[in-house]
Amino acid sequence: MITRLTRSGQVLARFANPDFSLRPGSLVEAEISLKEARVKLKIPRSAVMIIDGKPNVFVRTPEGFTKREVELGRGDDNSVEVVS
């Protein structure tokens, strides 16, 4: 996920470095072309509860709260997208 304030993010990439000019932890500037992804629902990672090894969220209903198993997509340390 991209940080809104800095418009930056961390990327893990693997590529040839035969002359060892890049060192671990190096800062680089790059342009990466990606398909545009539409995020329908993004929630705080803290809202996800792992129950029986599967991600769940609790949804408010008129009667209280209902547990729903969800499929998670991309995310970062703070938030994650709900795919279904």
Residue-range domain boundaries for the chain: 42-82
Mean pLDDT of 16-42: 82
Q: How far is CA 39 from the centre of its chain?
A: 11
Question: Which tokens in the block code for residue 5?
Answer: 């304030």
In angstroms, the Cα distances linking 15 to 2, 12, 76 are 22, 10, 23
Question: Which tokens in the block code for residue 77?
Answer: 């340390």
In angstroms, the Cα distances linking 81 to 52, 65, 75, 76 are 20, 21, 6, 9
**What is the percent of the chain where pLDDT is above 70?**
96
pTM: 0.56
pLDDT for res 57: 98
Question: Which tokens in the block code for residue 39?
Answer: 């995020």
Residue 71: pLDDT band (50, 70, 90) is very high
